[in-house]
């Protein structure tokens, strides 16, 4: 079973850090970890990736997703995450108001902050966040609405 170590050096004497392993993720294999069912799920994820490796190049983060659901309570407790913002439904011809757009933005920022690791990075291949987040922050700064949408943490 693969386990994700965040901001740790792992068990290798060859891994070192000058920044206390900030942003580093290490996957360690422990053949005895997990239940038989969990190990079977990991084997199925490996088989699926192997069979589709020439069709879909990214891993799809199946191991991360499986571990995230196992460790979901830990992540959610650490972040005190509760999705209290209700989803916004917009009909085909309905106008998108400022309130609806703001609620959707707050909901997505709230969700993605729960996926963020304790050292500040998003583990695995979460390129969606890495691709969309910097332009989002830039636009919010340009529009002078960053402080309205993102609560101050410090």
Looking at the fold, whether 86 and 154 belong to one and the same domain comes out as: yes
For residue 87, tell me if it sits in a domain. Answer: yes
For residue 109, tell me if it sits in a domain. Answer: yes
Looking at the fold, whether 11 and 44 belong to one and the same domain comes out as: yes
Total structural domains within the chain = 2
For residue 34, tell me if it sits in a domain. Answer: yes
Looking at the fold, whether 94 and 64 belong to one and the same domain comes out as: no
* pLDDT (tens place) for every residue of the chain, 154 residues total: 667 777 777 667 887 788 877 777 777 777 887 788 878 887 888 888 888 888 876 656 666 666 666 655 556 666 677 788 889 988 888 999 999 999 999 888 887 777 777 777 766 555 555 556 666 777 777 777 766 766 665 4
User: Residue 21 sits in which domain range?
Assistant: 1-70
Looking at the fold, whether 91 and 131 belong to one and the same domain comes out as: yes
Stated length of the chain: 154
Q: Distance of alpha carbon 53 from its chain centroid, rounded?
A: 22
Collapsed DSSP state (helix, strand, coil) of residue 51: helix
Collapsed DSSP state (helix, strand, coil) of residue 27: strand
pTM (predicted TM-score): 0.47
Scored b (16 or more CB within 10 A) or e, 105-128 reads bbbebbebebbbbebebbbbebee
Looking at the fold, whether 92 and 65 belong to one and the same domain comes out as: no
| List of residues 6+ apart from 111 with CB closer than 8 A | 83
Looking at the fold, whether 97 and 132 belong to one and the same domain comes out as: yes
Looking at the fold, whether 141 and 98 belong to one and the same domain comes out as: yes
């Amino acid at each position: 079973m693969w386990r994700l170590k965040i901001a740790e050096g792992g068990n290798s004497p060859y891994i070192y850090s000058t920044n206390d392993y900030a942003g580093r993720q290490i996957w360690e294999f422990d053949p005895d970890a997990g239940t038989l069912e969990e190990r079977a799920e990991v084997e199925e994820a490996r088989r699926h990736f192997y069979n589709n490796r020439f069709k879909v190049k990214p891993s799809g983060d199946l191991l991360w997703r499986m571990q995230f659901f196992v460790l979901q309570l830990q992540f959610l407790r650490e972040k005190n995450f509760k999705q209290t913002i209700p989803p916004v439904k917009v009909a085909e011809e309905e106008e998108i108001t400022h309130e609806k757009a703001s609620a959707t933005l707050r909901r997505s920022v709230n969700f993605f902050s729960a996926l963020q690791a304790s050292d500040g990075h998003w583990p695995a291949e979460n390129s969606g966040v890495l691709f969309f987040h910097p332009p989002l922050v830039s636009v919010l700064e340009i529009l002078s609405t960053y402080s309205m949408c993102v609560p101050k943490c410090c």
